[in-house]
Structure 1
Amino acid sequence: MAHMEIRFSGSGGQGLLLSARILAAALARQGRHVAQSNAYEPVSRGGLSRSDLVISDGEAAFPLARRVDYLLILDAAAATVSTHLLHQGAVVLADAERVPDPPRGDFRTIALPFTETARGLGNPRVTNIVALGALCTLAAPCPAEALLDALLAMTPARFERLNRDAFAAGLAMAVQEPA
């Protein structure tokens, strides 16, 4: 992989920025070059939120996504704001519950039960971690072990078991998706 662009999108309070920082840290530890940018509305919860990662083997000098390879959508509010950045062959991962009408086009759209799975684990606040596991399987930006290490290093130890379970559930649900 010489270059990849990933956008995490949804609403404030869903942990999107944390997920992007975790992935960026894992990639940096793997020797990849990563530029990250964030944008969010000035409300702590509920406003539109996104984080872009531009990943490269060489310098990733521009932090804004211009041609998204993987778009993760966790809220209906973000369902259509990034479709102009998708190209043929791009993959959209949408939360099946919170994004009932995901974008359709000349790209692949996959609706997965991120929120439902997190709720089943006992805490819907780990929806972002479930989604991160699925993204890791489908996009393969780095080894799952490297991403798990970054996740555990960047989150409170008291949530280790829950984060491990959420990440594993995301990895497993994406394995079931046909290529």
Structure 2
Amino acid sequence: MTGMERTEIRLAGSGGQGLILGMQILFRALGLEGKRAAQSQSYEPTSRGGYCYSDLILASDPSDYPLVTGLDMIAALSQVGIDRSLPFIKPGALVIVDERLVETPPTGPFNLHVLPLSQRAAAIGSPRIANIIALGAMAKLSGVCGKDSLETAVCLETPPKFAELNIAAVKEGFAIERLAPAG
């Protein structure tokens, strides 16, 4: 956090994309760095495919309102994820969208990065790790947490048999931002 009292972060997309797990990993990484955060989530009552998001509020002192009022950063892994979150995005916010799953990237006064999250996830070995790649890209682009903390959190929050794949996803996320920002 660079001098900000409160930073609001969202992972958004469709059910089944690991968005809640992703935010639990970021929450753990921030805790490992001694930062104060509150995490919440919401999903539609469909098992897969419905709108889903998980939010995290990072604050320098105890937050009296732990829900999002204006997003400072968002990673969206589906069109519905970005469309339903758009009204909450602050000017100047970091906005990351998947180039394949978000056919119509948003336009606005924010820092947009259209990245091949799902494509890189499939190339590494599983389409299910796009959420972790998105976290790595968000951490790299925003500086919200370090790579080591994120890797440690991944190991603490995911099954050991997937540790290697998830660590590769974090590394890919930190490398993927080499692409130029959109717009």
TM-score by length of 2: 0.93
Q: Is the 8 Å Cα contact of residues 54 and 62 (structure 1) preserved in structure 2?
A: no
Q: How does 1:74-153 map to 2 (within 5 A)?
A: 74-153=77-156
Q: Distance in 2 between matches of 1:62 and 1:175?
A: 35
Q: Is the 8 A contact 1:52 1:63 kept in 2?
A: no
Write out the 4+ residue segments of structure 1 that deviate beyond 3 Å after TM superposition.
175-178
Q: Which amino acid aligns with 1:76?
A: Q
Q: How many equivalent pairs are there?
A: 178
Query: Is 1:50 the equivalent of 2:53?
Result: yes
d(CA) in 2 for partners of 1:114, 1:128: 8
5+ residue gaps, structure 1, are none
Q: Please, what is the CA RMSD of the aligned residues?
A: 1.2
Instruction: Encode CA deviations 1:47-100: one digit per residue, 9 max, x unaligned.
Output: 100011110111123221111010110011222111111122111100000001
Question: Given the alignment of the two structures, is residue 171 of structure 1 paired with residue 174 of structure 2, yes or no?
Answer: yes
Q: Is the 8 A contact 2:23 2:55 kept in 1?
A: yes
Task: Give the stretch that moved more between structures: 23-32 or 126-135.
Answer: 23-32
Is 1:64 aligned to 2:67, yes or no? yes
Is the Cα–Cα contact under 8 Å of residues 150 and 170 in structure 2 kept in the other structure?
no
Percent identity between matched residues is 39
SS in 2 for 1:103: coil
Work out whether 1:38 is the aligned partner of 2:41.
Answer: yes
C-alpha distance in 2 between matches for 1:137 and 1:49: 24
- 1:52 partner SS: strand
1:32-52 CA distance string (max 9 Å, x none): 111111110011110100011
Q: Which amino acid aligns with 1:8?
A: L
**In the TM superposition, what is the alpha-carbon distance from 1:25 to its structure 2 partner?**
1.1
Contact 1:11–1:45 (Cα < 8 Å) also in 2: yes
State the match for 1:28 in structure 2.
31
Alpha-carbon distance between aligned partners in 2 of 1:162 and 1:168, rounded to the nearest angstrom = 10
User: 137-146 vs 46-55, which deviates more?
Assistant: 137-146
TM-score norm. by structure 1 comes to 0.95
Q: 2: distance between equivalents of 1:51 and 1:115?
A: 19
How far apart are the structure 2 equivalents of 1:147 and 1:96? 23
